[in-house]
A and B are shown apart, each in its own frame.
Chain A
Amino acid sequence: MTESGRRADTPFLTTRWSMIAAAGRAGTPEARAALSDLCATYWYPLYAYVRRRGHGPDDAHDLTQAFFARVLEKNVVHAADPSRGRFRAFLLGSLKNFLANEWDRGHAHKRGGGTATLSLDFELADERFSREPATPLTPEMEYERNWALAVLDRALARLESEYARRGKQTLFATLKPALVAAEDEGSRAVMGHALGMTEGAVKVALHRLRAAFRESLRQEIVDTVGPGGDPEDELRNLITALGHPSQAS
């Protein structure tokens, strides 16, 4: 995700998903770059979905690569109407179609499995997948949950790179745990001591960090909802997708 984080500096004049959609069947280099970038961010939920559908690691590696090869090279975007759907739903829908038709590993291989369209770190993904706790969630629910986590990772990475660009890595690293933690005067004093800042300055810095994070998160979500989409609604969906806290017990 850090790689995509570094790439996230580029300003987005329009949402990437709507840009991809606008490019349509013909495709433009920008649109393809944007699609590739989005896929690089959100491939893990798709990979985990393939695994949850019962494919072993090797099969899943091939199927995932083949799927992206198809999405990126054959430009299947036009097959869906992006203005009506979110990127999240579009990818899952396409993947389901793909799995239904490309169930045969040999077939998948022929379709592009093994030829790396995207550089995907399967080793890391397998390790992460093996750490996923057993859940009663369906593969679809698990996909949505992983998607929500990917959105969050990406928003944080984007924020981090923004702070790094301004030479404020230490500030970001120190304040990040306090993004959602209930900070009080004491914890602000501790952070201030570490940063050589007054408590008041820490308070202001935290306020700015939260505002920047919200913006980063919003931007990330805007990128994946269609032009008419409601980012706030998508955010609520993502929170819901994380599952109920009590389900975690």
Chain B
Amino acid sequence: MTQAGTQQRCPKCGDVLGAGGSCARCLLGLGLGGDSGPELFVTGAKESTPPPAPEELAPFFPQYELVELVGRGGMGAVYKAVQKGLQRTVAIKVLPADAAKDPAFAERFTREERALARLDHPNIVDIYDSGIAGGLYYFVMEFVDGANLRQMVRAGKVEPKQALSIVSQVCEALQYAHEEGIVHRDIKPENILVDRRGRVKIADFGLAKLLGAAQTDLTLTRTQQAMGTPHYMAPEQWEKPAEVDHRADIYALGVVFYELLTGELPLGRFAPPSHKLQVDVKVDEVVLKSLAKEPALRYQSASAVRTDVDRIAAAPPTPPATELRRGCVGGLLHRLAFAFNPAPNPRKKLYGMELASNWIPVGLATFLWYSAWLTDSFFLFLAAFFGTILLVRNVK
């Protein structure tokens, strides 16, 4: 409707008002609504009110049958629904009523819907429709039948091999979005969904920064809001929010990757993944490079991450290092050796040398013990030392 801009709009549903100054949609909706009508969830009488029940929303989505509330988060509540005409299952994401009153929130919503509308990729949740209904911003999206990575990590369901596959697919989607000039800026396990066939779908390009849309960005930075989820935010998102680019997503991806593998966040001086589970040590390098503090030292593109991850996934399975360490006397000694150096520098590439240096105190102890009462203790020590070197090579 071309004249819509100059017409009065309903403050609740955003529809153009009729000549009588009342909103036809809301009035007709009243006919379907419960006793107190639609204001039940629009007035926001209580702060941070729970999301409306499906039946409360139903009058505003006559073309959908709302099935159930399937999730809620900082950016709104998500309902499973069936589009009546096409009989297809969709997800309807609705912003909380009190958030809809905040112009900044509304702006972020508009950004999300526009960003999503521009994206068309098998690993990105499709958006079918969006708008404002019953005073609530919403969009209708592809329904992903599966789980998000947070749920999968909690359930302990992610095998290293699967983690590699997931990260590879996330990279593919990010590369596409980055090429489109869209940075997600809030990559986290909750926003990465995996359907029952193992396909990854990224949701919530809500904080997407449209490169080149500087004007809009000004208003957002003016609010001085640190947007994003703290643990997954790249250092520059804290320090220089205006300079954030696609490499912030690569940092967040590094955090997600680490968490997928280990179930923990890479906080402080964290152990590389290969120290915590049976995984190729090359994975350590991918994770650490993604997590570099300086964007310039990180991978410069999601496709570069993907190349390395795919190479690791395609490589013949390396001897499971941890098993070796755990399964023999050498493994026990290895742990003992690490007891002397509990925080190895994970960035050190000469890992074998480091292991060897860790073994020196063990060797010395052996030497002293034997030299006290055996003449051939020197040979025993040599045997132990070279045995160690061999073991270290195997481990590597």
A positions within 8 Å CB-CB of B: 133-135, 148-149, 151-152, 156, 176-177, 179-184, 207, 210-211, 213-214, 217-218, 221, 232, 235-240, 242, 244-249
Contacts and interface: CB of A to CB of B under 8 A. Distances in A.
A203 B303 CA distance: 61
28 contacts: A133-B1, A133-B3, A133-B16, A135-B1, A148-B24, A152-B28, A156-B27, A177-B21, A177-B22, A180-B23, A180-B27, A180-B29, A182-B11, A182-B12, A182-B39, A213-B30, A214-B31, A232-B32, A240-B63, A244-B129, A246-B14, A246-B129, A246-B132, A248-B1, A248-B9, A248-B15, A249-B4, A249-B131
A242 B60 CA distance: 12
B31 A245 contact: no
**Residue of A183, A210, A236, A237 with most partner-chain B CB within 10 A:** A236
B59 A239 contact: yes
B26 interface: yes
B13 interface: yes
A179 B28 contact: no
Contacts of A242: 15, 24-25, 28
A211 B33 CA distance: 10
B2 interface: yes
A134 B25 contact: no
Given A221-B31, A245-B15, 12 more contacts: A148-B28, A152-B24, A179-B22, A180-B23, A180-B30, A181-B11, A182-B12, A207-B35, A214-B30, A232-B32, A240-B63, A245-B133
A149 B130 CA distance: 23
Query: 7 nearest interchain CB pairs?
Result: A246-B131, A180-B26, A236-B62, A217-B31, A133-B1, A133-B3, A239-B62
Interface residues of B, number: 43
B129 A149 contact: no
A182 B7 CA distance: 20
Given A134-B1, A239-B28, A242-B28, A180 B37 contact: yes
A86 to B, nearest CB: 16
A182 B35 CA distance: 14
Contacts of B31: 213-214, 217-218, 221, 235
A84 B2 CA distance: 38
Contacts of B59: 239
A133 B2 contact: yes
A137 to B, nearest CB: 9
- Per DSSP, are chain A's interface residues mostly helix, strand or loop, or mixed? helix
Contacts of B27: 152, 156, 179-180, 213, 217
B18 interface: yes
Contacts of B42: 182
A249 B132 CA distance: 11
A1 B216 CA distance: 46
A245 B132 CA distance: 7
Contacts of B22: 176-177, 179-180
Nearest to A220: B31
Nearest to A233: B62
Given A244-B131, A246-B129, A248-B4, A239 B25 contact: yes
A238 B24 CA distance: 10
Contacts of A211: 35
Nearest to B23: A180
B30 A249 contact: no
A211 B28 CA distance: 13
Nearest to B9: A248
A234 to B, nearest CB: 10
A211 B62 CA distance: 21
Contacts of A156: 20, 27
A248 B176 CA distance: 31
A85 B309 CA distance: 62
A149 B18 contact: yes
A43 to B, nearest CB: 18
A138 to B, nearest CB: 15
Given A149-B18, A242-B15, A210 B30 contact: yes
Contacts of A235: 28, 31-32
B38 interface: yes
Contacts of A238: 28
Contacts of A207: 35-36
Given A134-B2, A176-B22, A184 B43 contact: yes
Contacts of A236: 32, 62
B28 A217 contact: yes
A133 B4 contact: yes
B1 A249 contact: yes
A232 B14 CA distance: 24
**Residue of A134, A182, A242 with most partner-chain B CB within 10 A:** A182
A134 B2 CA distance: 6
B189 interface: no
**Residue of A183, A184, A207, A239 with most partner-chain B CB within 10 A:** A239
A245 B135 contact: no
A184 B7 CA distance: 25
Contacts of A213: 27, 30-31
Contacts of A245: 13-15, 25, 131-133
Contacts of A249: 1, 4, 14, 131
Contacts of A218: 31
A249 B26 CA distance: 17
Contacts of B21: 177
Contacts of A176: 22
A195 to B, nearest CB: 19
A203 to B, nearest CB: 10
Contacts of A244: 129, 131
B160 to A, nearest CB: 44
